[in-house]
Structure 1
Amino acid sequence: MPANAPINVTVGYPEAASQGYDVYFSADVETDGPIPGPYSMLSFGLVYAGAYDGTTFYRPPEYLEKYYVELRPISDDFEREALAVNGLDRAALIERGADPITAMTDAANWVRQRAGIGSPVIVAYPLSFDWMWLYWYFMRFSTTGSPFAHSRGFDTKTALSIKLRRMISKSGRSRIPETVRSSFPHTHNALDDAIEQAEIFANVFVMEEGHE
C-alpha cells in the first residue's frame, strides 16, 4: 500500500490470517499517585478497540468486549488530589478491592484469549501514563507477565500529532478536533474512559493525514 493511501476500513472482526494482525485494547487507569510502587493503581479498564492486518483496519461495531476491576492498594501512601479526580473510595478498596495477583493474571489471560492468534497492543491517549502503570503491575503481579510484551503500545496522541502535522505539545486532549472526538463521555471511570478512548483511537487511525 502506498504510504499516503487511505486505510481500508471494515466494520467487524478479522478472520484468521496467516500473516497475523495486531489486536488493539484501549486502556485507562485510575491511581492514587503519580508512579507505581510508592503509590497504587486503584482501577483499570480494557476494551477491545479493533484490529489491523497491515492493509485493513477492522473497527468493532460496538465496544462490548471489556474488562474492569478495582484493586486493593499496595502501599500506605496516596495523594488526596488523585482521589478527588477519580472519586474512588480508597478505604473501601483496602477492604474489598481485588487482589493484584488475581486481577492482573485474570486480565492478562483475558487479553490473550481475546487476541487469539493476533498480537495484543495497548492503546491510550496518551500512552505513557497508562502503559507505565499497567506494565509495572503486569510484571510485578501477573503470574504470566505482560500480554503486551515490553513494547507493544500505540500512543493515539502521537498518531494524531503526526496526522495533523502538529507538535506533541499542541496535541493534548483539549485540542482533539471535533471530527475525531468520541460520542462517549469522559467520566474518570476507567472503563468509561477506555471506551471513549477506543472510539478516538479508531477515528484517528482511519483519518487521512493533514485533514481535521
Structure 2
Amino acid sequence: MAYIMVDIEADGPIPGDFSMVSLGAVLVKPELDQTFFAQFKPISEQFIPEALAVSGYSRAETLAFADPAQEMQRFKEWVNRVCPDRPIFISDNNGFDWMFVCWYFHHFLGENPFGHSSQNLGSLYKGLAKDTYVNFKHLRKTKHTHHPVDDAKGNAEALLEMKGIGLNIKF
C-alpha cells in the first residue's frame, strides 16, 4: 500500500465537456523522488479561458500535447510500478482532481488502478487538528505554482509533516 499525491490542471469544471490539461503525481515517502508528469491534448472543443490560464498554457499549446489515452496508460504503468499492491489516491482537492483522473481512466482505459476511493488532504488535516476551520497549506515547502508536480510535491510534504505531528500513517 502506498499513497500517491496527485494534482491536475483543467480547462473547465468537469471532465468530458472540458479537458484535463496536465497531471502531476508523487509517491509519498520522505525522498519524494518518484514523480510523474503528463500533458493532455484537449478532448473537447469547449474550454474556459480563465480556467486554462491557471495552467499557464495557451489553447494552441495544449492542442500539441499528447494523446490522453496514451498518457493515461503511461500513468497507470507508473502507478503500478511504484505501488505494485494497493495505491491510494490523495490530493488537496480530491473532489476536483479525482473526478478528472477517475473519468479519464475509465473513459480511456476502462479501469482505474486506484479503484473507487480517494482521500482529501485538507479533510485529513482538519481531523488531525480537530478543527474544521484550519488549513494545512502552511505545511508545504515547495511553492504552489500550478505546475502539477510542484503542487503534488508540496502537498506530499504537508502529508509528511502531518506524520511528524502525530498522524498515524505508513509510507
Match of 1:198 among 133, 156, 159: 156
Matched residue of 2:44: which SS? Answer: coil
TM-score by length of 2: 0.91
Match of 2:57 among 74, 77, 88: 88
Q: Percent identity?
A: 33
Paired position in structure 2 for 1:67: 36
User: Can you give the 5+ residue segments of structure 1 that lack an aligned partner in the other structure?
Assistant: 1-21, 51-59
1:39 Cα deviation after fit = 0.3
The 1:136–1:92 alpha-carbon spacing in structure 2 relative to 1, beyond 3 Å, is same
Paired position in structure 2 for 1:43: 22
1:142 Cα deviation after fit = 2.3
Displacement over 4 Å in runs of 4+: none
Q: Which amino acid aligns with 2:44?
A: S
Asked if 1:176 is matched to 2:133, the reply is no
How many residues end up aligned between the 2 structures?
Answer: 167
Paired position in structure 2 for 1:3: none
2:93/2:122 contact within 8 Å kept: yes
TM-score by length of 1: 0.74
State which structure, 1 or 2, has the greater radius of gyration over its C-alpha atoms: 1
1:25-174 to 2 correspondence within 5 Å? 25-50=4-29, 60=30, 62-94=31-63, 96-116=64-84, 118-142=85-109, 145-151=111-117, 153-167=118-132, 170-171=133-134
Q: Can you list the C-alpha shifts for 1:121-153, whole angstroms capped at 9, x where unaligned?
A: 01111221111110000111126x2110111x2
Q: Distance in 1 between matches of 2:6 and 2:56?
A: 18
Higher normalized helix content (fraction of residues): 2
User: Can you give the 5+ residue segments of structure 2 that lack an aligned partner in the other structure?
Assistant: none
Give the root-mean-square deviation of aligned CA atoms: 1.5
Q: Which amino acid aligns with 1:158?
A: S
Matched residue of 1:121: which SS? Answer: strand
Q: Can you list the C-alpha shifts for 1:154-179, whole angstroms capped at 9, x where unaligned?
A: 21111111111112xx24xxx3374x
Matched residue of 1:122: which SS? Answer: strand
2:3/2:90 contact within 8 Å kept: yes
